[in-house]
């Protein structure tokens, strides 16, 4: 009998991880530091916007009823209203006001005729000829169209994109309440590892730490590199004992069943409760997840591509949930397989592909070397193709699920 526990399906593993994550405490930050983060509270409108009915066009503010007769209709121009100024006169029958985009509508007017539908009258500079009839409300942006004071403008959990921040700025709100960014410690483990700036000798350059740090930053977290721990129980344990104040601790390598794989032992010795180990997935099977207090520990596999794939499928959603985002599942799009794939059932494969748009569909072509160590195919990939765990073959043209990668340039 095997003493290794059953492999967890991918979705179940992610659901368990998300179950360990609740949004971090709120901080108020300037809007431009809130991009991509989630609102920690509902935000209500402080201002009604637009504050008055105003013109959507450069043209003439008219009374629609004046244009009911035969066209063109000649009107007397009372004044010109610019954006940022207030009208001073009422538009009475037979008159109009020249008006610029964004300028408040003068009293009496109920529609705007765009300038292109009018004609100057050569011998009468105070008059204009209107060439078309319009209905009341034509080219008017009504008061309160965008926001009414007191309305909930954006709900808690809303991801803040550029227009959302625009909405808040338009309200005169320069700072925004968001859960603080997760603090993430990143530790590499392995006797063979050296830093990129060291003479390599027989060593393998530590790619995971800097790559994961970038992935953390791109997912909104704040990474701190803990360096490289050698393959002894003591070294890994010592490095992992220095994680006070971190929300998430990421390690790479040393989580398989090798003789020098000490990460699980070290976590246990430090009182981290293991939540699960091993997921039915390739690449990335040996993932281990644990928790101590509020700190989440995720032991990622050592192969650089495996660690990036598990980051994408498990760590990024966790970091996003800690930042209060609700919709944190990896995004998916549907596509077709350009080629054929086969495997034994039992593991879900996430195949590196390049996907291109052809004849109205996204066609995904698997990249050459798919071994966990190969970074070349990770570099060229635009998506991961989900080859379900119970399936053993996908024929040319199969409909497939594709995950756009967050790690691309």
Which residues contact ligand AMP by CB under 6 A? 188, 190, 192-193, 204, 206-209, 252-254, 256, 258, 301-304, 373
Whole-angstrom distance, CA of residue 179 vs CA of residue 152: 19
Does 40 contact Mg ion by CB under 5 A? Answer: no
Residue 212 C-beta: closest distance to ligand AMP, Å: 9
* Binding site partner of 323, from Mg ion, ligand AMP, none, Cβ cut-off 5-8 A by kind: none
Among 57, 253, 367, 378, binds Mg ion (CB under 5 A): 253
Residue 190 touching Mg ion (CB under 5 A): yes
| 252 touches, from Mg ion, ligand AMP, none (C-beta below 5 to 8 Å by class) | ligand AMP
Stretch that binds Mg ion, among 55-63, 183-191, 322-330, 390-398 (CB under 5 A): 183-191
Residue with tokens 């809130």: 34
Local structure of residue 171 (DSSP, 8 states): T
Q: What is the DSSP letter of 29?
A: E
Strand segments, DSSP code E, in 219-267 are 222-229, 248-252
Q: How far is the CB of 376 from Mg ion (least distance, A)?
A: 21
CA distances from residue 391 to 320, 342, 347, 394 in whole angstroms, order as listed: 30, 8, 9, 8
Report the alpha-carbon distance of residue 30 to residue 341 in Å, rounded.
48
Structure tokens at 6: 């059953």
Helix (H) or strand (E) holding 237: helix 233-240
Other C-beta atoms within 10 Å of 214: how many? 13
String of contacts with Mg ion for each residue 159-178, x by CB under 5 A: --------------------
| 286 lies in the site for Mg ion, by CB under 5 A | no
Q: Cα(192)–Cα(281) distance, rounded to whole angstroms?
A: 26
Contact between 250 and Mg ion (CB under 5 A)? no
Of residues 170 and 374, the one with the C-beta less far from Mg ion? 374
- Nearest approach in angstroms of CB 191 to ligand AMP is 9
Question: 205 forms bridges with which residues in the sheet?
Answer: 194
Size of the site for Mg ion (CB under 5 A): 2
Tell me how far, at minimum, the Cβ of 286 lies from ligand AMP, in Å. Answer: 7
| Closer of 94 and 227 to ligand AMP (Cβ) | 227
Nearest one of 40, 12, 23, 13 to 294, comparing CA atoms: 23
State which residue, 238 or 329, has the beta carbon closest to ligand AMP: 238
Residue number, nearest CB to ligand AMP: 302
Tokens of 189: 């483990």
Task: Measure the CA angle with vertex 67, ends 63 and 73; round to 5°.
Answer: 115
Q: Which is nearer to ligand AMP, 118 or 303 (CB)?
A: 303
- DSSP string of 72-94? SEEEEEEEEE-TTS---S---TT
Compute the least distance from the CB of residue 325 to ligand AMP, in Å: 28
Note the residues at the interface with Mg ion (CB under 5 A).
190, 253
């Amino acid at each position: 009998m095997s003493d290794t526990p059953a492999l967890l399906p991918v979705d179940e593993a992610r659901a368990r991880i998300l179950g360990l994550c609740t949004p971090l405490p709120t901080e108020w930050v300037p809007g431009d530091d809130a991009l991509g983060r989630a609102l920690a509270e509902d935000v209500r409108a402080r201002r009604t916007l637009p504050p008055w009915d105003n013109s959507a066009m450069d043209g003439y503010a008219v009374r629609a009823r004046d244009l009911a007769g035969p066209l063109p209709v000649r009107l007397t121009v009372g004044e010109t209203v610019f954006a940022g100024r207030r009208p001073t006169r009422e538009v009475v029958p037979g008159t109009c006001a020249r008006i610029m985009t964004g300028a408040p509508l003068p009293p009496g007017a109920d529609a705007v005729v765009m300038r292109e539908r009018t004609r100057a009258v050569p011998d009468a500079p105070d008059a204009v000829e209107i060439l078309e009839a319009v209905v009341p409300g034509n080219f008017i942006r009504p008061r309160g169209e965008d926001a009414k004071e007191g309305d909930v403008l954006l709900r808690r959990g809303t991801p803040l994109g550029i227009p959302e921040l625009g909405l808040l700025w338009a309200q005169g709100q320069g700072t925004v309440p968001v859960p603080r960014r997760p603090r993430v410690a990143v530790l590499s483990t392995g006797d063979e590892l050296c830093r990129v700036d060291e003479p390599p000798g027989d060593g393998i350059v530590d790619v995971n730490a800097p790559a994961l740090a970038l992935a953390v930053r791109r997912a909104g977290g704040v990474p701190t590199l803990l360096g490289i721990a050698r393959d002894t129980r003591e070294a890994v344990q010592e490095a992992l004992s220095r994680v006070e104040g971190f929300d998430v601790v990421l390690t790479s390598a040393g989580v398989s069943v090798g003789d020098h794989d000490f990460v699980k032992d070290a976590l246990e010795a430090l009182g981290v409760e293991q939540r699960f180990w091993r997921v039915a997935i390739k690449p990335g099977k040996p993932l281990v997840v644990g928790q101590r207090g509020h700190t989440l520990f995720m032991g990622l596999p050592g192969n650089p591509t495996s660690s990036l794939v598990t980051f994408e499928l498990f760590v990024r959603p966790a970091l996003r949930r800690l930042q209060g985002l609700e919709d944190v599942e990896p995004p998916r799009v549907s596509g077709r397989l350009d080629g054929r794939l086969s495997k034994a059932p039992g593991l879900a494969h996430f195949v590196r592909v390049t996907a291109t748009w052809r004849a109205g569909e996204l066609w995904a072509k698997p990249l050459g070397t798919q071994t966990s160590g190969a970074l070349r195919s990770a570099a060229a990939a635009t998506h991961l193709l989900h080859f379900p765990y119970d399936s053993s073959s996908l024929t040319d043209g199969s409909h497939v699920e594709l995950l756009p990668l967050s790690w691309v340039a």
